[in-house]
Structure 1
């Protein structure tokens, strides 16, 4: 209205001036400091003026409504009709934080697929303080994500009451968003006294949630797990159409010794044998590629429980230039070593998703699982699979015992794709 009428905005306050006496004070007009004032600029300056009035006599300030109420369900404010404006140069750390707790998925791969949703949540409001609650083995991963302000962990077999107490002791949270579906994870947050819980209905937990995100209709095409997490963020009010949400968490360095090209191999898969391509095929790929690319040094990666697998694969490689790092790295060290790789040759594993999150290209072998649902995110990844009538079955072990979906993929196929990707890297360099 002031802009339409070209009228000044005058901050006014009524202060107590003794028994049954009050003083009306009119302050100078507010100005946005711009040649052409905007409603957003004037509003932000008016808020600063109100802060000055309140600080002069806090006892005289009368709160007529809950000014800082949290909208429901869109508490992230990106769709909030009042909008968000901060004055130029304003220090956002002065804002009273909105404390959000996110219950992370338990698996490394799922956690990596949830990263775009974490970015969307963090961007949802300027006062956001985002804390991740996760299994202890994922602490190093989430600590490396710039959008995460704090990490709270739990042990695998820790009791519900103990976990709830740990959450309470870590601070106050306005809302918790659950990327897990279990009733137990909901009980932990419920007992922690968090006033608003948000998630999918999961198993037997709908009554404990304050906001239940609807599932997609069944007749639509299957969606990638990353978009399932993003839908939950959108339900909370986040904007999810920004391509930057899928940017690498920590960009790859490609650093290696002079004249050396590092290529990773992840031949394991903790989920089960059905996701593992035969080790002799990995060895065959390394041998074939090394003939054309003698400067390649192969890096063997894997989980602590896969050390024996790493030793066996190392023996198969023989004189092929390689380093066996299976079970020998912390998660932080694995991140650093993956970043130095030009490429990763891998099964459908958490390491594959970690490489994708870091922006490292992959050649990924799929068999019992479906890349449409859990493939690496981004356009720099090559999928290799051999279709059989029973694939994908999503089983840990092949019901028929012969793993045709995996053995049908040849070392020659994968070696050709690896060579093509290395050639691209050479051109780009």
Structure 2
């Protein structure tokens, strides 16, 4: 049985689909193939159940994608699983053929699918990953609730990346990711990230690496954090590819991140993870990690899921103190000492 997955378009969403892809690989006679946008290909390469990765810019008009689509069509897939809910993703699946094309009924695309499932109401209160597992199971593939797969990174590539950015393979450092693509309601103040980083350095002697994407907002955020830590912080805002970010995270001792793709990467790489939580419904989209601490207050009565605070105050994030974050960090690191990370992920063993 041959299976093709039409992949999701954001780092965090991709990682939340990894357990479902693992189930599909178990039910297939060979590894699962994936359609993805080029910038996400390095992420899919981490999954041990994925075989061929068709990296194509799915935003382009479909007729410009026909050479790649026809090549996939010749593979004669038994099942094509469409994780995104967009009409365009179902159209790509339709053009690829497949005996079964399974996806959720949305955007008037049911005619393009052979199995168009309604989104069950109960999933409104369940984790996003369970929605993908449900879809894969409906297509006749295994229905297993499994943790994120264990990934392995070549040690020579990890070491080369660290050296490129002036880090040593045996160096202890924490990573801070002060950005969040969805909006300011998900961002803890940059100055408080810097204060936590300073306390970590005084407590443990660790260096600090600040990371962020290459958009102007995140570059400015990482620069603010690094500027508050002269001589202690390495500012990598806008300077890393996804591949490089993965290797830097893999060798870190701790990750402090807002709700973001970097947060989910930390979960995948089994990095001890501390997250200040504001507008996010973590029951639905939280990190799939055992070594994670979610820090929030009850200043807001309900999760709004908005990118900008409806009250204009951002109190749900501003009410999280540096002391609360430090308490969470100390407790998490104590737990991490008794929970070894899998071999092949990190530099420290």
The TM tier, using the shorter chain, reads: 0.7 to 0.9
Structure 2 match to 1:208 = 112
Corresponding position: 1:316 with 2:236:
no
SS at match of 1:102: strand
Give the 3 Å change call, closer, same or farther, for CA 339–298 of structure 1 in structure 2.
Answer: same
Secondary structure class of the residue paired with 2:210: strand
Q: Structure 2 CA distance, aligned partners of 1:206 and 1:372?
A: 29
Q: Which residue of 2 aligns with 1:104?
A: 7
How far apart are 1:304 and its partner, in Å?
1.3
Q: 1:193 to 1:408 in 2, by over 3 A?
A: same
RMSD: 2.4
1:291 shift after superposition: 1.6
Q: In the alignment, which residue of structure 1 is the partner of 2:307?
A: 396
Report if the CA contact (8 A) 1:356-1:376 is conserved. yes
Give ranges in structure 1 of 5+ residues lacking alignment: 1-97
Residue of structure 2 in register with 1:141 after alignment: 43
The secondary structure found in structure 2 opposite 1:191 is helix
Are the aligned partners of 1:307 and 1:327 in contact in 2 as well (CA < 8 Å)? yes
Deviations, residues 27-69 of structure 1 (Å, cap 9, x unaligned): xxxxxxxxxxxxxxxxxxxxxxxxxxxxxxxxxxxxxxxxxxx
What is the match of residue 196 of structure 2?
285
CA contact (8 A) 1:302 1:326 kept: yes
3-state SS, counterpart of residue 152 of structure 2 = coil
Aligned to 1:114: 17
Do the aligned residues in 2 keep the contact of 1:103 with 1:132 (CA within 8 Å)? yes
Structure-1 residue corresponding to 2:281: 370
Give the conservation status (yes or no) of the 8 Å contact 2:272–2:336: no
Please report the TM-score for the alignment, with normalisation by the length of structure 1.
Answer: 0.71
Output the CA distance in 1 between the equivalents of 2:281 and 2:291.
18
Aligned: 1:160 with 2:62: yes
Secondary structure of 1:304's aligned partner: coil
* C-alpha distance 157-237 of structure 1, shift in aligned 2 (>3 A): closer
For residue 30 of structure 1, what is the aligned residue in structure 2?
none
Out of 225, 229, 248, which is 2:128 matched to?
Answer: 225
The answer to whether residue 96 in structure 2 is matched with residue 192 in structure 1 is yes
Matched residue, 1:304: 214
Greater relative contact order structure (CA < 8 Å, 6+ sep): 2
Which of 251, 259, 262 does residue 173 from structure 2 map onto? Answer: 262
Q: 1:275: Cα distance to partner?
A: 0.8
Number of residue pairs the alignment of both structures matches: 327
Where structure 2 has 5 or more consecutive residues not aligned to the other structure, the ranges are 160-166, 341-349
